[in-house]
Amino acid sequence: MDDMDMDIPDPDELQWLEANSNLHDDLDFDDDFQPPFPDDDDHTPTHTPPIPQSQPPTRTDSNKRPQSPPPIPTIPDNFASEEASRKRSRIEPQVVVDEIPANTSANPAAAVAVDDDEDWLPPPVHQVPQPIEEDEVPEETIVSRYASRIDGDFVPVTGPCGDRVYAKISRFGFDDSTKKNKLHSNEYSNGLIAEPVSLLMQRVEQDAVQKALLESFGPEGDVILPKVPVINEKLWVDKYSPNSFMELLSDEQTNREVLLWLKQWDSCVFGSEIKTTTEDVLSSLRRHTSVAQHQKANKSYIGKNKETWQNKENFREYKMLDQENNDSKGTQDLGNRNRKGYATPEQKILLLCGPPGLGKTTLAHVAARHCGYRVVEINASDDRSSSTIEAKILDVVQMNSIMADSKPKCLVIDEIDGALGDGKGAVDVILKMVSADKKFNTGKEQTHEDQSGKGSSKKKSRDTSLLRPVICICNDLYAPALKSLRQVAKVHVFVQPTVSRIVNRLKYICSKEGMKASSIALTALAEYTECDIRSCLNTLQFLNRKKETLNMIEISSQVVGRKDTSKSFFDIWKEIFQKKRVKQERKASSGCKNVWNEFEYLHSLISNRGDYDLVMDGIHENILKLHYHDPMMKKTVKCMQNLEVSDIVHQYIMRTQKMSLHVYQPAIAISIHGVIAQVEKPNIEWPKSFQRFRTTLMEKVDLLHLWHHNITPYISRHLTIKSFVEDSISLLLHILSPPTLRPVALHLLSEKEKKDLVQLVNTMVSYSVTYKSIKPNLLSSNLRHEVGVDASVLSFDPPLVDLIRFKDYTSSHFVLALAMKQVLLHEVEKQKILQAGINRSVHLTDVCKENKNLAMDKNGINRSTHLTDVCKKNQTMEMDKNGRIQSSRSHSVSVKKAVDVLNPSEARQCEKAAPPVSSNLSSSVNSSVAIKLSSTVSTKKPSRGNFNFFERFKKVSSEGSQATDTVQRRPATSERDSRPFLFKFNEGFTNAVKRPVRIREFLS
């Protein structure tokens, strides 16, 4: 290597870059030129003041050179050092080789390398500053020490010192020109001196700074980091989660009931042997739950410690028993498990519900473990599609693990209400299993035993009965997805544990973690989080990590995360209507800030809930029932105006879809709060009236629509639903039940009265109003109660009366006597039937005429004349459109033919049927033909000339479909061989008397 270097002309830069290789050269030189040191010393003061500055840190910092400092004072033994360095020089190359890779790879090594560079850099520049010299010298002693273990790794560390020495010497040597080696290096150093000194210095400085930075960070991180995560890696929530039943924070009674329920599975899961013991356990558990209740009642004076102690006592025995159970059964009873007992609890599913952070999941896990189950949890993060979940549940519930030491499994489905769409899958599967189970149990009792063996597994997978306890956990019991589950499951609602209990636990944890927290602050925290122990712990851990202590102010400030819970609507309305007494007191002390706090609170409350529409509805619904002092109605006006604004804003948002404007809605509610909030507790109802109003309105509009469609178009087109109630309904009802109409038999009526009656019937028909018998109980509260004595009461068929039936209002409408109504009903039906015929025959005739019975006469007219009649009518109507008639003549011809074809059969019918029927029949035939004709004439579409004859019939029938059933019955008799028909004979109410009845009798 030396040679190589010597040969190289002097590529200064190159050498600079390959600092390491240079280094070695230098080291080599070291050997010879230790002596000239003193000279160097002379020079040193002049140059390189910065170097010492930069170097000290490097030296102190570099781990590998703790040796260098000590010998500082001892300069003397240069020679020794020389020798040492000589030795070193021999070794150096190897070391260097070692070093290079180290440079590239490891960081500390790199740092060292940098050191080396730097240390080395200065010497070629000039001379080593004195301090360094001194360092250097002492080093030699150390070196000598190293020399003994020179093979060690740290040799390179000392290397740089040697460089320095050498560098100075080499310069000297250049003057003397004693050695070529030096010459070369001198040249090189010369070059350095001349030009890049300043540059070099800068670099040195930079490097030093970098190094300093690096070291200030690096080592610290190395040292501290490994410790911190070790301590805090675990969340406190997990760290201090209860491991045994007794550590549970949740309500004792709930805990026990859960345990009791789980224990009820024992006979099924663990087999019959243990049944006796479990009975004991059960009974004791039962006893203790009652005790627990008792304790709970006495809690106030029993005192905490005592209670817990008692609990411990109680549970110790359970545990013992339990462990016995576990030992004996869990392991081997797999085979005979389901044999006899099979007494699963009535409700096979346990549903735990309650707000988050109360320990539902913990309870489920702990209790299940306590009872000797292995907990299998399915939660919201798992795949919840019903197919996968079914497989999973089946695995858990029906399979037994082969491993000898395995425990039976207990399924815990967490957050079952979480995702509605997916969560439903789980619920469905469970429900299916439960229902299958029920069927199974009730269905076959004896085959059941056979099946309970191993061989039955196949069959069971079909039936999927529940053989293992399933615990479901949810936050919202009334989530729609859980509706059906709620009915079959045993439901336990978690109540908030007492604050003191939580505070005790928190205190314990704080003391264990060495965190200072006053119990007042902890209480405040617990209250703030609504006894959510999880969020309490997270907050505490967070603060602890930040090295802060918990204080009251933080809790209410944003430092401690507020739980993002949305309260129920009732709570929101309550908050709006109710002023908090405490707050009021506080308001006196610190006015403005508290108002602000209250605002903030309400704002977040309302905006968290969303659905402002409903919030406002609730306010509107309840606001007038509050007892606020408002003599001049000023407050009410204000509130109403606020509600108006909210409605307008809402409408605007809906129309323009500017959802961002929703942010102003909470403020409206808050302003209402400001106006009317009272201390007294409001009595709040769910806003139903608006919805009720909406539905009744829809119903009535539908009713009117339906009715509107039934009225013949030439009347209905002039009526609009909107204005009908406004300006017609009352009058129409008056007209429909005239007080002048005497309730007597028809033939007793005078001529004028008859005319009135006909008029009335016509009106009813044209407005498609009729009477219908309805049950009296529906009428109990309405207008017609005076008539309601009869078993059935006739009422208007479209219940038009409903439209004027307002609450607390009795209308002055006259009500017809029942007999009159019956007469009217009869007449109307008759009229309808008649009109149906007329409608068909004279579709084109004037509407007024149509309603008069004149048309009856036409029945007698034979077909041909009728046809021509119709044709004539058409012609008169469209005299100027002869061409069209011409074109349509072909159709009429075809129609005639068709009629002829039909004729024979009809003729036969006529003969058979009674005379009136025949006339009726002919009229109907005529009418149908007439319609056909008119339609062909009126369509005016020559292009459709080859229209199918029967299609025209279809049209006719569709046209006629408006007629009522009774109307259709009679035409049906006439066309009976074209269509099959059916008689319904309902004379009398009993089957006892049977007599033969001929069809003819019906037809007559």
Partner 1 sequence: MLWVDKYRPRSLDKVIVHQDVAQNLKKLVSEQDCPHLLFYGPSGAGKKTLIMALLRQMFGASVEKVKVENKNWKVDAGSRTLDLELTTLSSTHHVELNPSDAGFQDRYIVQEIIKEMAKNRPIDTKGKKGFKVLVLNEVDKLSREAQHSLRRTMEKYSASCRLILCCNSSSKVTEAVRSRCLNVRINAPKEEEIVDVLEFIGRKEGLQLPSGFAARIAEKSNRSLRRAILSFETCRVQQYPFTNNQLIPAMDWEVYVLEIASDIMKEQSPKRLFQVRGKVYELLSNCIPPEIILKRLLFELLKKLDSELKHEVCHWAAYYEHRMRLGQKAIFHIEAFVAKFMSIYKGFLISTFG
Give 94 or 759: the residue with its C-beta nearer to partner 1: 759
Q: Spell out the SS3 assignment of 875-912.
A: HHHCHHHHHHHHHHHHHHHHHHHHHHHHHHHHHHHHHH
Min dist CB 967 to partner 1, Å, is 16
Residue 75 CA to its chain's centroid (Å): 80
Residue type, 561: G
Select from 161, 100, 173 the least CA-distant residue to 129.
161
Min dist CB 635 to partner 1, Å, is 8
Contact criterion met (CB below 8 Å) for 77 and 35 = no
Give 812 or 991: the residue with its C-beta nearer to partner 1: 812
Alpha helices in 8-106 (DSSP H): 12-17, 19-32, 37-43, 50-61, 78-105
How far apart are the C-alpha atoms of 744 and 16, rounded to whole Å?
Answer: 133
Min dist CB 711 to partner 1, Å, is 10
Give 290 or 728: the residue with its C-beta nearer to partner 1: 728
How far apart are the C-alpha atoms of 37 and 165, rounded to whole Å?
Answer: 7
Min dist CB 806 to partner 1, Å, is 4
Give 51 or 711: the residue with its C-beta nearer to partner 1: 711
CA dihedral 588, 591, 594, 598 (to 10 degrees): 90
Give 381 or 882: the residue with its C-beta nearer to partner 1: 882
Give 296 or 650: the residue with its C-beta nearer to partner 1: 650
- Backbone φ and ψ for 843, nearest 5 degrees, come out as -75, -30
Give 1 or 885: the residue with its C-beta nearer to partner 1: 885
Min dist CB 741 to partner 1, Å, is 9
Select from 600, 606, 604 the least CA-distant residue to 576.
606
Give 296 or 884: the residue with its C-beta nearer to partner 1: 884
Min dist CB 759 to partner 1, Å, is 7
How far apart are the C-alpha atoms of 187 and 230, rounded to whole Å?
Answer: 57
How far apart are the C-alpha atoms of 599 and 668, rounded to whole Å?
Answer: 11
Min dist CB 692 to partner 1, Å, is 8
Give 496 or 962: the residue with its C-beta nearer to partner 1: 962
Min dist CB 994 to partner 1, Å, is 45
Contact criterion met (CB below 8 Å) for 461 and 429 = no
514's tokens: 């060495």
Contact criterion met (CB below 8 Å) for 721 and 800 = no
Select from 19, 23, 22, 44 the least CA-distant residue to 171.
44
Min dist CB 619 to partner 1, Å, is 10
Using a CB cutoff of 8 Å and minimum separation of 24, what contacts does 581-587 make?
581/679, 584/679
Min dist CB 644 to partner 1, Å, is 5
How far apart are the C-alpha atoms of 241 and 534, rounded to whole Å?
Answer: 9
Give 310 or 968: the residue with its C-beta nearer to partner 1: 968
In 232-264, which positions are buried (b, 16+ CB within 10 angstroms) versus exposed (e)? eeeebbeebbbeebbebbbbbbbbbbbbbbbbb
How far apart are the C-alpha atoms of 572 and 578, rounded to whole Å?
Answer: 10
Min dist CB 627 to partner 1, Å, is 9
In 341-365, which positions are buried (b, 16+ CB within 10 angstroms) versus exposed (e)? bbebbeebbbbbbbbebbbbbbbbb
- Tokens 């109980």 correspond to 777
The CA-based diameter of the chain, rounded to the nearest angstrom, is: 162
Q: Which residues are CB-contacts of 188 (< 8 A; sequence separation ≥ 6)?
A: 10, 12, 15, 124
Min dist CB 476 to partner 1, Å, is 29
Give 7 or 727: the residue with its C-beta nearer to partner 1: 727
Give 85 or 766: the residue with its C-beta nearer to partner 1: 766
- Backbone φ and ψ for 68, nearest 5 degrees, come out as -60, -45
10's tokens: 């002097």
Residue length of the chain? 1004
Give 8 or 803: the residue with its C-beta nearer to partner 1: 803
Min dist CB 655 to partner 1, Å, is 9
Give 625 or 775: the residue with its C-beta nearer to partner 1: 625
Give 172 or 767: the residue with its C-beta nearer to partner 1: 767
Q: Which residues are CB-contacts of 162 (< 8 A; sequence separation ≥ 6)?
A: 26, 27, 30, 85, 88, 89
Min dist CB 677 to partner 1, Å, is 15
Give 264 or 851: the residue with its C-beta nearer to partner 1: 851
- For residue 281, CA distances in Å to 147, 318, 753 come to 79, 7, 91
Q: Spell out the SS3 assignment of 826-862.
A: HHHHHHHHHHHHHHHHCCCCCHHHHHCCCHHHHCCCC
The DSSP bridge partners found for residue 491 are 351
How far apart are the C-alpha atoms of 532 and 355, rounded to whole Å?
Answer: 8
CA dihedral 457, 459, 461, 464 (to 10 degrees): -110
Min dist CB 822 to partner 1, Å, is 20
Give 225 or 877: the residue with its C-beta nearer to partner 1: 877
Min dist CB 463 to partner 1, Å, is 44
Min dist CB 661 to partner 1, Å, is 14
3-state class of 491 per DSSP?
strand
Give 203 or 955: the residue with its C-beta nearer to partner 1: 955
Min dist CB 974 to partner 1, Å, is 23
